[in-house]
Amino acid sequence: MIVAGGCCTTCCCCSCCLHALGGILGAATNPAPADASGATGYAHAQAVYWGSLGVSTVVCVLLVVVTKGVLWGAGLLFLGLPLIQLLASVVALVVILTRDMGPINREAAMAAIGRITLRTIVGTLIGLVAMSPVLLLISW
């Protein structure tokens, strides 16, 4: 598997997955709202998102492992995790839009998923910028 001209079949540095780490940290640092109705929507959205991320990650990695092998599955996990996070955001949004939420504030839950997704993207971009110099060095 070739990425940016460098070999990613072995771990040659710790920066190869900084974008994945940035995406996870971005999603995990989503602050809770101060109002009570927003807090219940936020808590529900967090649970749905992290559950969706767990299921999406397991399903995607298993599919790749079965069809391409363990090395490709590991590559997807470390290099493709931000894409799986975006998939989890879409799944979480669909769940929030289609399920009966009872007393939970649907708008607050959708806003929380939006903030999680935005923070995932920003964290991924920060990780990509941080790992770019290493990828440039590897490609030489």
User: pLDDT tens across 50-70, in order?
Assistant: 999 999 999 999 999 999 999
Look at residue 64 and tell me if it is in a domain. Answer: yes
**26, two tokens:** 């971005």
Q: Is residue 73 part of a domain?
A: yes
pLDDT of 13 > 70? The answer is no
Contact 27, 123 (CB under 8 A): yes
The answer to whether residue 137 sits within a structural domain is: no
Residue 11 lies in a domain: no
How many domains does the chain fold into? 1
In a domain, 13, yes or no: no
Q: Residue 37 and residue 1: Cα distance in Å, rounded?
A: 47
The pLDDT of residue 117 is above 90:
yes
What range does the domain containing 108 cover?
Answer: 18-132
Is-above-0.85 flag for pTM?
A: no
Which H/E stretch holds residue 109? helix 106-139
Residue identified by tokens 């992290």 is 50
Within a domain: 9:
no
